[in-house]
Amino acid sequence: MTHTHCSRQELTSHFTKIDQHSLHYLERKGSIANAPRVILLHGFPENAHAWEPLIQLLPAEYHIIAPDLPGYHKSAPLDDNKDYEVLALIHRLAAFVKRMSNDKPVTLIAHDWGGALAWPMAAFYPQLFNRLFILNAAHPSTFTLALKHSRAQRQKSQYIHTLAHPGAEAFLRNTDFSLLKDMLGEGLFSQQSGYAKRLLADWNDNETLSAMLNYYRQMPQTVPPVDASEEALSTLKIPTIRIALPTCVLWGRQDKAFDESVLEGLGNYVDDVAVHYHDTATHWIHREQPLWVANHIVNGLSGP
């Protein structure tokens, strides 16, 4: 249980069942009746606590809900590998959003894998949401186009093969999770923060680690080799994921996982999109620049 500033409601820990599986979430109730509801979806290899620096900076009137993605941290692992396919995950998360929404559209804020699920969820369940904020997560259509046309993006995505490999659990454990620590920035672990300890406990739990890696293993298509032939690249299928919701993309430009080519052509799939760049932030913009992110969210939610 974590306490934020005394002037605000505390962040509390809860469980709900979605399709017979326990889903854990953090909640900070809003300070006003009918508070606007905001749902935050974290990415790999994190958990809901990744959002704490941002939650502390968001206005007290927001009613905030941050789940651990299915299989992560305190959310129960799923029965079948197929349950980790994108469509199955977004159906499950849409059921969670519906339950938490109080029958009103909610604001969805998502990073990394949370964003990879938020994009199609906003396309297939637009009635659940009023607005979408995406932090360093590529849209599935432009990501696939970038894999096809950008050698730089293929290069940056090669780590996915390591994570999707059947022996990934053993490899990560035997190397003291150095790949995951490097991804997140070694500084997080040298400080021995409570959050870093939580992450290590998750990764050391084999069932949780396998659940997290299954998101990569069930990706709709594999990442081509860096120097793939034109013939091989021509087999990549570009999904058509169209979004009509007002969308704000917040992007740390020092991202090691994404080349900025993933943002090209976004307007072809998202009718109403604004992109804001932070020049020095990395992929982990929600923890590095929480005030910058919070300001964009508040401006977006108080605008027309």
Residue 49 in domain:
yes
pLDDT at 6 (0 to 100): 40
Per-residue pLDDT band at 89 (split at 50, 70, 90): very high
For residues 266-285, give the mean pLDDT: 97
pTM attached to this predicted model: 0.95
Residue 1 in domain:
no
DSSP state for residue 69 in the 8-state scheme: P
Find out whether 123 and 241 touch, Cβ atoms under 8 Å.
yes
Per-residue pLDDT band at 192 (split at 50, 70, 90): confident
Per-residue pLDDT band at 3 (split at 50, 70, 90): very low
DSSP state for residue 7 in the 8-state scheme: T
pLDDT at 83 (0 to 100): 97
Kindly calculate the radius of gyration of the chain based on its CA atoms and give it in whole angstroms.
18
pLDDT at 243 (0 to 100): 97
User: Residues near 234 by Cβ (< 8 Å), separated by ≥ 6?
Assistant: none
Residue 133 in domain:
yes
User: 40, 11, 46, 42: which is closest to 26 by C-alpha?
Assistant: 11
The answer to whether residue 5 scores a pLDDT higher than 50 is no
155-170 burial, b for 16+ CB within 10 Å, e for fewer?
ebbebeeebbeeebbe
Which residue bears the tokens 């349950």? 83
Q: Please tell me the distance from the alpha carbon of residue 123 to that of residue 199, in angstroms, as a whole number.
A: 31
Q: Output the six-digit token pair for 185.
A: 């920035």
Q: Please tell me the distance from the alpha carbon of residue 90 to that of residue 259, in angstroms, as a whole number.
A: 25
For residues 242-263, give the mean pLDDT: 96
Q: Please tell me the distance from the alpha carbon of residue 118 to that of residue 134, in angstroms, as a whole number.
A: 8
The answer to whether residue 295 scores a pLDDT higher than 60 is yes
pLDDT at 304 (0 to 100): 60
pLDDT at 109 (0 to 100): 98
Residue 217 in domain:
yes
One-letter amino acid identity for 258? F
The answer to whether residue 2 scores a pLDDT higher than 60 is no
Count of the separate structural domains present in the chain: 1
Q: Tens of pLDDT along 126-183?
A: 999 999 999 999 999 999 999 999 999 999 999 999 999 999 999 999 999 999 999 9
Residue 288 in domain:
yes
The answer to whether residue 30 scores a pLDDT higher than 70 is yes
- For helices 112-124 and 86-100, give the axis angle rounded to 10 degrees: 80
Q: Tens of pLDDT along 106-140?
A: 999 999 999 999 999 999 999 999 999 999 999 99
Share of the chain above pLDDT 70, in %: 97
Residue 244 in domain:
yes
- Virtual torsion, Cα 101, 107, 112, 113, nearest 10 deg: 30
- We report the CATH number of the domain holding residue 171 as 3.40.50.1820
pLDDT at 159 (0 to 100): 95
Q: Please tell me the distance from the alpha carbon of residue 55 to that of residue 69, in angstroms, as a whole number.
A: 17
Residue-number span of the structural domain to which 233 is assigned: 12-302
Q: Tens of pLDDT along 197-233?
A: 999 999 999 999 999 999 999 998 889 999 999 999 9
Q: Please tell me the distance from the alpha carbon of residue 179 to that of residue 20, in angstroms, as a whole number.
A: 33
pLDDT at 191 (0 to 100): 79
Residue 264 in domain:
yes
Residue 137 in domain:
yes
Q: Tell me the C-alpha to C-alpha distance, in Å, between residue 253 and each of 201, 276, 280.
A: 30, 10, 6
Q: Cα(first)–Cα(last) distance of the chain, in Å?
A: 36
Average pLDDT, the chain: 94
Find out whether 262 and 142 touch, Cβ atoms under 8 Å.
yes
User: 73, 105, 79: which is closest to 92 by C-alpha?
Assistant: 79
